[in-house]
Amino acid sequence: VVIAAALLAIVPPLALGYAWNEWIHRALIFLVISCPCALVISVPLSFFGGIGGASKRGVLVKGSNYLEVLADAEIVVFDKTGTLTKGVFNVTAEARLLELAALAESYSDHPISRSLREAYGKELETARVSDVEELSGRGVRAEIDGHTVCAGNDKLMKEAGVPWHPCHRIGTTVHVSLDGEYVGHIVISDELKPDAAEAIAELKRR
């Protein structure tokens, strides 16, 4: 097919004096009609190339249809911890408050839960803990030494009917209540990755 297309583009102009532009154009039409798979294959190959290029940069794309959706995206939502931040936390709290929070979070594998346990720095007596309930997007409720402890965000305090007050310090705030009484809050601060601000600014420019 390629040889026939080349002959169609060259022979008429050379042998019969026809215009080059017209016969090159006809040769290309002939090539596409005779071998349309070349164009058909080029579309999925471009998607495969995009998915492969993204994976080299550490971005996993579920499928080609998601690449098409990205072209029309106007809002991008990030999971902050470990994505925009380093996931290395500094915990600020007094000892008793930290003990209650660490015990309540002792069965959770969330990065904030791990940071609370690490900040506590002692062996946790998990036998003191029972009826642990992880509340998605809010925190943890548990029984510690027979007392109900809630450790989590503002939503959890409202749900438990516990009066709380906001913290003026920058960071993630973990409020702690004991038997329905507010006992204080823990401030957990994370550090931004060096390229996070630049990456978000680049997204906005696009």
Token pair of 18 as six digits = 């026809």
Beta strand 172-178 pairing with 147-152? antiparallel
Instruction: Identify the sign of the CA torsion 6, 8, 12, 13.
Output: negative
The yes-or-no answer on residue 79 being catalytic is: yes
For Cα atoms 113, 115, 120, give the angle at the middle one, nearest 5 degrees. 100
Which candidate, 115, 104, 109, places its Cα nearest to that of 187? 115
Rounded distance between C-alpha atoms, residue 182 and residue 166, angstroms: 12
Interior angle at CA 28, CA 50 and CA 25, nearest 5 = 125
- Which candidate in 72, 79, 109, 131 is catalytic? 79
* CA 51/CA 65 separation, integer angstroms: 11
Residues identified as active-site: 79
